Structure 1
Amino acid sequence: MNTRALALDLLEKWEKTDQFLAQILDSCCKQKKLNEKDRAFLQELVYGVLRWRPWLDSVIKKSVKDPQKKMSSLIKNVLRLGIYQMVFLEKVPIYASINETLNLLRCRVKRGFVNAVLRNYDRSVGEYKLPSSEEGIPAKIKDYLSRECPKVDLTPVWESIQKKPLIYARWNPLTGTRDVLEAIWQQENRKYQCVNESQGIYHLEKIETNVETWPSFQKGLFTIQDVYASSVVSHLDVKEHHKVLDACAAPGGKSFQIATYLKNADQLVALDVSKKRLDNLKKAALRLKVDNIKLVEGDAKKHVFLEKFDRILLDVPCSNLGVLNRRLDVRFRFSQKQQNSLIGIQREILENMSSFVKQDGIMVYSTCTLSRKENQDQVRAFLKKNPNFFCSYQALNIPGHEKGDGGYVAILHRSS
């Protein structure tokens, strides 16, 4: 199996479609039936190239004799793969990185051009040094976040964005005790560290295989959920007797967390517009032994409920600017037009779902973006239009400054 050739194919497919890179990668791994080692190497290559693409392109431009020379998408991706391996994969010798890259091309002319560029770079670089985090981030993203967060030191943010995302696990009390979970992890030789005792949140360290293949995962002893995402649900202040709605539920991590607070009492509704995503949520619920979720297919912008809820969670669609280390696609596909569309969707969801909050009930609005337009401005506009609600708390979690992903949360109370 030529993993480098697969990486090139995936990068080409990503450029020519609007599919998410994670979807393309997962589909390829299943279709080709890749083993864990090949899957990990493939992910390293495609994610690494996208994570450092702006810097890689600047290096390519300096290493080409004629900077004005037009290159096809294929040649650019071949060069990106080659230079990424030369700089970031220390275990692969430079000569091997160059030779393996050349083997991706059949045309002698193209091979000659790529060989010249890679060897020009090798001669000019001297000692190989890693670029700064800021060099890997597209200019439009840096400019936008600089405007959105004018009082924030963005150096830690850039560093956080360029790091491979940390993987957190949340213990599932419905399938066993934490002692049982930790004992099985020890049997599986897993490395972990508890980072939140009260919530049962663990940082999984030195992951070398797909977590979903672990026996402990398949038994439903834990679920993957970022430490910040877990904190959002705690703001709902769910009690066992509450009727709760998760209005943008898929993929289900927050719904499952709410279910544990309700101790599997049959008082949780999960609404999502996508039947496919709800089907996946149902499968995950079976694994976790969560059987108190009523799944409802519907659009949160206009769906009508005949009942009202004590608690409603609105984890709305957003621009994902707080999770750029996970959602590499966003770095290159973010646009003002797309954001304006999302802002309209968020506004409609807020307006519609607010009518189903009981008096003295709570609605939590959350995003995984750092945009004021989608966060503070959105909540401010809602409160101005709906004086029967008030905000008791709001906070922005900035990656690199706080633990976990970036995002925003606001607790909105309906007055009696």
Structure 2
Amino acid sequence: MPRDARDAALESLLLMERRGAWSDGSVKRIVAQAGLDSRDAALCARMTYGVVQNRTLLDYYIDSWCSQKAARLEPVVACVLRLGIYQILFMDKVPDRAAVHETVELVKRRGKARAAGMVNAVLRKCVASKSTLPRLPQNDPLRRMMVQYSHPRWLVERLVSLVGAEEAEEFLRLDNRPVATCIQTNPLKTTQEELAQELRDAGVSVQPHPWLAGCFEITGTGDLERLPAFAEGRCTVQDAAARLAAMAAAP
């Protein structure tokens, strides 16, 4: 059973790798099995979704720093490397030394101690290269977009054929951007201020919606269904557009 957020993230990624599980379902399942608190659940979710969103880019870096291609590595080792590189390049609050150490320990706990030296070497190369990362493919603009935004080539080609390279790239950039969850306060059970404070106390990042009163944009929830504020009905999830439709239809 996973013992912490990194273990749970790895287990979620392996579940997707081996069984074709959906990312959302696998994270919820593993978080529940591990009994993670809200902060660790949020960390697990961020690492898992981050690796999924950036997998092609992460594998490109693995191929640049490792003697073996990512596609030829054992699934456990490949997923561990993706987790480590993601923490180093995308998670500013995780110190590089901690990311390297915890990732090496993670691969050891998974019975792959013989790969620990290679994992350590690749992650140290990543740390040393943060300001001068390997150049993305330059001679093939479509491949460069495919790698940079981790989208399949067929989709990149289709988008470019429909809207042109510039607009296609903007679409890919926005499509790969983490999106906050929009929630609305249930005024029958709490106030906006009380809800915001409750969520922050649970480790959730909370921002008032820029143009919808009573709504918030939240990130870092982990499994949202396990938050007491959601489970007990003090807030509900509703997309901003759906909220506007409800307001327009109100008598």
* TM more than 0.5: yes
- Of Structure 1 and Structure 2, the greater helix share is in 2
Report the CA distance shift for 1:61/1:3 in structure 2 as closer, same or farther (over 3 A). Answer: same
Whole-Å Cα distance in 1 between the matches of residues 73 and 124 of structure 2? 18
Instruction: Report the counterpart of residue 141 of structure 2 in structure 1.
Output: none
- Of Structure 1 and Structure 2, the greater strand share is in 1
Whole-Å Cα distance in 2 between the matches of residues 81 and 203 of structure 1? 29
Whole-Å Cα distance in 2 between the matches of residues 38 and 149 of structure 1? 41
Whole-Å Cα distance in 1 between the matches of residues 164 and 117 of structure 2? 47
Instruction: Report the secondary structure of 1:188's partner residue.
Output: helix
Whole-Å Cα distance in 2 between the matches of residues 49 and 188 of structure 1? 29
**Pairwise CA distance, 1:56:** 0.6
Structure 2: 5+ residue runs without aligned partners? 137-143, 201-205
**Pairwise CA distance, 1:117:** 2.4
Cα deviation, 1:60-97, whole Å, max 9, x if unaligned, reads 11112355993222221111111112212223332322
The correspondence of residues 163-182 of structure 1 with structure 2, limited to 5 A, is 163-170=177-184, 176=188, 181-182=191-192
Instruction: Report the secondary structure of 1:223's partner residue.
Output: strand
Report the CA distance shift for 1:189/1:2 in structure 2 as closer, same or farther (over 3 A). Answer: closer
Instruction: Report the counterpart of residue 120 of structure 1 in structure 2.
Output: 125
Pair 1:203 & 2:213 matched: no
Instruction: Report the counterpart of residue 11 of structure 1 in structure 2.
Output: 13
CA RMSD, 1 decimal: 3.7
**Pairwise CA distance, 1:209:** 6.9
Report the CA distance shift for 1:213/1:181 in structure 2 as closer, same or farther (over 3 A). Answer: farther
* 1:226 alignment partner, one of 226, 229, 239: 239
Pair 1:75 & 2:77 matched: yes
* 1:26 alignment partner, one of 25, 28, 33: 28
From the CA coordinates, give the structure whose radius of gyration is larger.
Answer: 1
Percent identity reads 22
The correspondence of residues 10-409 of structure 1 with structure 2, limited to 5 A, is 10-65=12-67, 67=69, 70-103=72-105, 104-105=107-108, 106-123=111-128, 125=129, 127=131, 134=145, 135-140=148-153, 141-150=155-164, 153-170=167-184, 176=188, 181-182=191-192, 184-185=194-195, 188=198, 191-195=206-210, 202-205=215-218, 211-212=224-225, 216-230=229-243
**8 A Cα contact 1:184 1:216, kept in partner:** no
Whole-Å Cα distance in 2 between the matches of residues 21 and 187 of structure 1? 29
Report the TM-score, using the length of structure 1 for normalisation. Answer: 0.47
Higher relative contact order (CA 8 A, sep 6+): 2
Report the TM-score, using the length of structure 2 for normalisation. Answer: 0.73
After the TM superposition, which segments of 4 or more aligned residues of structure 1 sit over 6 Å from their partners?
none
Whole-Å Cα distance in 1 between the matches of residues 168 and 70 of structure 2? 33
